[in-house]
Structure 1
Amino acid sequence: MKHLLYLFMLALPVVATAQKDSLAGAVQATRPLPLYRPGFALMLSAGSTGGGVAVGYSVSRSVAVRVGANLFNYDGTLKSGKDTDDIQIGFDYTVKLKNADLMVDLYPFKRSGFRLTGGAYYNINTVTFFGKPTKDVKFNDTVFTIDEVGTLDGKANFNKVAPYVGLGFGNPYTRKRLKFMVDIGFFYQQSPLVTFRTTGMLEPSSDQGSVIQKNLEPLKYYPVVNLGLSYKL
């Protein structure tokens, strides 16, 4: 009986220590993560600038910077004029978006993922196009084939540096490591510089470069709508 009592007394400190450690672990597990977690974050996005990857760094609770790159290619077709016009040009075009960006994010509210963003894109965006008549052309009772009428091909280049302003939602540097992110804004890449050449009967229309440039002018304010994920490293 005395031996059992001695064993029980010896076991009490071990049991008490184990219970204490278990309780401390439970408290630590349920303790919320700190509201602000400084450091680096990795970001992936997709949207109007294509697919993108970026690395961000939290300078302070309310300021962060990020550096990224985006890539997007798109092919399409369009026609100038109406099907009933004497001559109608069909165009094949390719939009190539290639750019790198440097952004500064400002978080005005401590408990919100809302942010204001400003920065710039280094821009290698281009639009290439090739056009030819969609049908033979009749002029003064003479019919000219598509090849006789000629072709038109060219390229549009934009300014290399394009400033950006926008807003967004999602703060990679608070609480959970994985976050959903949204960016909405635009960058200003100025009016494109269009160069092109023509062949055949289309050669006299080379002065139409200004018309093509005017049609591409809306692209100088390029809208940015991107969705993505961030992971706090």
Structure 2
Amino acid sequence: MNKNFLTLFVLLVSTMTLQAQSFHADSTTLQLHGGTQGFGLAVRHNFSPKLAARLGGSYGSVRINDGFSVNNLSTDNTIKGTFSNIHLYGEYSALNWLRIIGGAAYLFKADASVVLTPNESVTQDGITLQPDEIGILTTEINYKKFAPYLGLGFGHGLSQKRFNVNLDLGCYFLSAPKVTMTGTEYLSDNEQNGPIITENMKNYRFLPVVQLNFNYKLSK
């Protein structure tokens, strides 16, 4: 696991432990969440009226068939994306209804792929190529494993009720993606375009997070 994530974990736990020495709270909640980073579970604990930590995990996956068209080429295409992580957040309640959230995630999966398969013949310069002669083009996009997070939370982090709902709005700061292209048959020469697309996508490093949290307090 990334050393930066482990260092953050140790520092956060140490800070919260010092806070806990002067505050005895029955304020542990189990959280079910869903949003742009997928669905998941987390455990949240308030170490003081204003400071809390949250440890959880999320998984999300999407698949889109025939999501785009290619000029002068009829294709079957598939877009797939997967995002799964374990994350550790620290929270500071600036107001009763507003929380400042910072932390990081270890990304088990943060990638996408596009597979393009021609489904009709193509005639060029008097030569007709059948779909199996044209080949298949696969594009893969991958991000590194560590991603800092910064965001805001709206709604009570620690409610007087056993059950409450709140909202997170934030962003993961990802590494620059690496893009590889693999082609077969007539499309095999496209591999050289991978570094070009990698350069063009170097600023695609932000993953917005909109997440709804359903919280259940374990103790009354």
TM-score (norm 2): 0.79
Q: Secondary structure at the match of 1:205?
A: helix
Matched, 1:142 2:142: no
AA partner of residue 143 (structure 1)? T
Cα distance in 1, alignment partners of residues 75 and 199 from structure 2: 17
Looking at structure 1, the residues matched to 199 and 60 of structure 2 have their Cα atoms a distance apart, in angstroms, of 23
Q: After superposition, where does 1:173-184 map in structure 2 within 5 Å? A: 173-184=158-169
Higher helix share goes to which structure? 1
Give structure 2 stretches of 5+ with no counterpart. 1-23
- Aligned 8 A contact 1:37 1:175 in 2: no
SS state of the match for residue 79, structure 1?
coil
> Which residue number corresponds to residue 95 of structure 1?
81
1:203 and 2:188 equivalent?
Answer: yes
Q: Is the 8 A contact 1:81 1:89 kept in 2?
A: yes
- Do the aligned partners of 1:172 and 1:232 also contact (CA within 8 Å) in 2? no
- Do 1:128 and 1:156's aligned partners in 2 also have CA atoms closer than 8 Å? yes
Aligned mate of 1:51, from 31, 34, 39: 39
Give how far 1:75 is off: 0.4
Aligned 8 A contact 1:79 1:90 in 2: no
Asked if the contact 1:38–1:173 (Cα under 8 Å) also holds between the matched residues in 2, the reply is no
Partner of 2:155: 170
CA distance in 2: counterparts of 1:184 and 1:38, whole angstroms: 26
Is it true that 1:120 corresponds to 2:104 in the alignment? yes
Structure 1 residues not aligned, in runs of 5+: 1-35
- The aligned amino acid for 1:224 is V
Counterpart contact for 2:134–2:185, Cα < 8 Å: yes
TM-superposition CA deviations, 1:84-138 (whole Å, max 9, x none): x3x45543121111111000111012xx221111111111212133212243211
Paired residue secondary structure (1:107)? strand
Q: Which residue of 2 aligns with 1:15?
A: none
- Number of matched residues? 193
More strand by share: 2
RMSD: 2.2
Cα deviation for residue 170 of structure 1 reads 2.5
**Separation in structure 1 between the aligned mates of residue 163 and residue 202 of structure 2, nearest angstrom:** 39
User: Cα distance 1:88–1:216, how it changes in 2: closer, same or farther (>3 A)?
Assistant: farther
2:105 maps to a residue whose letter is Y
TM-score by length of 1: 0.75
